[in-house]
Amino acid sequence: MILIRGGDVFSDSGFEVKDVLIDGERIAAVGAVDVEGVIEVVDASGCLVGPGFVDMHTHLRDPGHTWKEDIASGCAAAAAGGFTAVVAMPNTDPPLDEARIVKEVVRRGHETGLVEVAVAAAITHGRAGMLPSDVEDLYECGVRIFTDDGDSVADAAVLRSVMMRIAALPGAVVAQHAEDASMTVNGHIHEGSMSTRLGVGGLSAEAEVDVVKRDLDLVRETGARYHCQHVSATGTIELIRHAKAEGLVVTAEVTPHHLSFDETAVADLDTDFKMYPPLRSGDDRRALREALKDGTIDVVATDHAPHAPEEKAVTFEEAPRGVIGLETAAAVVSEVVGDPRRMFETLSLKPALIAGLRDQGRPIAVGEPANIVVFDPRQEWTPGTFVSRSSNSPYKGHRLKGRPLVTVHNGRIVYSLIGAT
Ligand SMILES: [Zn+2]
């Protein structure tokens, strides 16, 4: 048995200083707990204790790109970030577009024993945007999120036909990487004053906004659930806000790096600031932070996208898009939202709900699965090295406040900075 002692525990009734006793894979007691029979005691005084974080946008790079990350190293990075579940994106080689491969990734994730691994399967065969995947078969083996992430589904007819099928599957959701590829050729950073000044090709906000606008028409028509991935632009926030007011079942995510940085961060052309969508204007960043606080944006998702050092050690134009984020996300969210309840909502409760992960995102209570994070909101630290196989983080050398100290998955301590006594 494990006792998490004296933390500020997040339950249905809010936060209160309590002990949490874990027996086997479940929470056995919450309140003042007698230490008799306890094998390990975790001192959580001054820390938040709540459901483990859930990342609904992780690139595990496995199969096919395992020099960047693999299932084991990605799961270890997730556990170090306080996550107890991740949803793996399908842009692997081969892509995660059929039940056989999905089952294999989930099985290998389970084997690590570190975090729960779910899969977001490709909407189309080979993520080629042409032929819909067998979404019913994928749903049958547990897939709830469908996306061609890395690329948009550009063809409206293809997307409409898939949306109609997904609308018939309870709890299934179409997630879109909104990017009109015809508008982003030769683009590397946000199209604006910075792209002009640096003479680097720009990526317009409209490339995102236009796709979301088109998609919302299809949502209206088909009744499908829709999730907008990595929202970056004010125009997209406005569309989501109106869609929600209209009663459409629409959710949205933002990445930690879009909350922390704006286009000025690319002034030195550091390739660890190259990602899609790009860091946009200061106004966009402010709008994203507001939208996360007021609930227009539901979820923070990392878009953890590992690339090897040698792949990023090239010119900005040549560098691949993407940055890692699992190990630094919680600190960013803690500071940006400034409210522990909202932190757990956006990093745990809501992503678990959207991804259909029943053992995740549940406030602490007796009988619930023991997927728990102990998070110290006071600890200041500077990321330098990473558990991830890659280190392409924009937070290297940046002072962060707030850190996951202990992660418990299925009743086992899978990560600890303080050690147990
Ligand atoms: Zn994406």
CB atoms closer than 10 angstroms to residue 39: 8
How far, in Å, is the centroid of ligand 1 from the Cα of 124? 15
The span from the CA of 378 to the CA of 373, in Å, is 15
Angle at 131 between CA 59 and CA 230, to 5 degrees: 35
Asked if 270 and 314 touch (Cβ cutoff 8 Å), the reply is no
pLDDT band at 419 (very low <50, low <70, confident <90, very high): low
Q: Report pLDDT digits (tens) over 142-157.
A: 999 999 999 999 999 9
Say which CATH topology domain 52-355 has: TIM Barrel (3.20.20)
Catalytic residue, from 8, 55, 303, 359: name it.
303
Radius of gyration of the chain (CA): 21
Rounded distance, CA 89 to CA 138, Å? 14
pTM: 0.97
Asked if residues 299 and 252 have their Cβ atoms less than 8 Å apart, the reply is yes
Alpha helical stretches, state H, 295-363: 309-312, 329-337, 340-344, 350-355
Distances (CA, A) of 394 to 72, 203, 264, 269: 23, 19, 13, 12
Residue 380 CA, ligand 1 centroid: distance in Å: 30
| Residue 393 C-beta-side C-alpha neighbours within 13 Å | 26
Whole-number Å distance between alpha carbons of 165 and 160: 9
Q: What is the pLDDT of residues 203-224, one digit of tens each?
A: 999 999 999 999 999 999 999 9
pLDDT digits (tens, 9 = 90+) for 255-272: 999 999 999 999 999 999
pLDDT at residue 225 tops 80: yes
Tell me how far the alpha carbon of residue 152 lies from the centroid of ligand 1, in angstroms. Answer: 8
Amino acid residing at 381: W
Contacts of 271 (CB under 8 A, 6+ apart): 312, 313, 314, 316, 319, 392
CA 148 to ligand 1 centroid distance, Å: 8
Percent of the chain with pLDDT over 70: 99
- Ligand 1 center from residue 29 Cα (angstroms): 41
Q: Enter the DSSP assignment of 230.
A: S
- Catalytic residue check, 303: yes
pLDDT at 421: 42
For residue range 231-260, list pLDDT tens digits in order: 999 999 999 999 999 999 999 999 999 999
Q: Which residues contact 89 (CB under 8 A, 6 or more apart)?
A: 57, 58, 59, 60, 96, 120, 147, 149, 150
Token reading at 31: 């309140």
Q: Provide DSSP, 82-151.
A: TEEEEEE-S-SSS-S-SHHHHHHHHHHHHHH-SSEEEEEEPSBGGG-SSSB--HHHHHHTT--EE--TTS
- Tell whether domain 2-48+367-416 is in CATH 2.30.40.10: yes
More confident residue, 165 or 420: 165
Task: Compute the distance between CA of residue 1 and CA of residue 94 in angstroms, rounded to an integer.
Answer: 41
Contacts of 260 (CB under 8 A, 6+ apart): 332, 336, 394, 395
Mean pLDDT of the chain: 97
CATH 2.30.40.10 intervals, the chain: 2-48+367-416
Cα-to-centroid distance, 157 and ligand 1 (Å): 21
Report DSSP state, residue 181: G
Cα–ligand 1 centroid distance for 305 (angstroms): 9
Note the pLDDT tens digit of each residue in 343-355. 999 999 999 999 9
Indicate if the pLDDT at residue 420 is higher than 50.
no
Report CA(38)–ligand 1 centroid distance (Å). Answer: 44
Going from the Cα of 354 to the center of ligand 1, the distance in angstroms, rounded, reads 17
Interstrand relation of 412-416 and 250-254 (parallel, antiparallel or unpaired): unpaired
**Which pLDDT tens digit goes with each residue over 58-67?**
999 999 999 9
Which residues lie closer than 8 Å to 128 by C-beta, 6 or more apart?
none
Strand intervals (E) in 234-341? 250-254, 299-300
Helical segments of 261-308, H only? 282-294
**Three-state secondary structure call for residue 285:** helix
d(CA 312, CA 80): 23
Q: What is the pLDDT of residue 184?
A: 86
Q: What is the pLDDT of residues 29-64, one digit of tens each?
A: 999 888 888 889 999 999 999 999 999 999 999 999
CA distances from 201 to 135, 195, 197, 278, 367 (A): 37, 6, 11, 12, 54
Q: Report the separation in Å between the CA atom of 246 and the middle of ligand 1, taken as the mean of its atom positions.
A: 26
Cα of 255 vs centre of ligand 1, distance in Å, is 10
Residues forming CATH 3.20.20.140 domain(s) in the chain: 52-355
Nearest to 175 by CA among 147, 205, 210: 147
Give distance in angstroms: CA of 229 to centre of ligand 1: 7
Q: How far is the CA of 265 from the centre of ligand 1 (A)?
A: 20
Phi, psi dihedrals of residue 174, rounded to the nearest 5°: -90, 120
How far away, in angstroms, is 393 Cα from ligand 1 center?
17
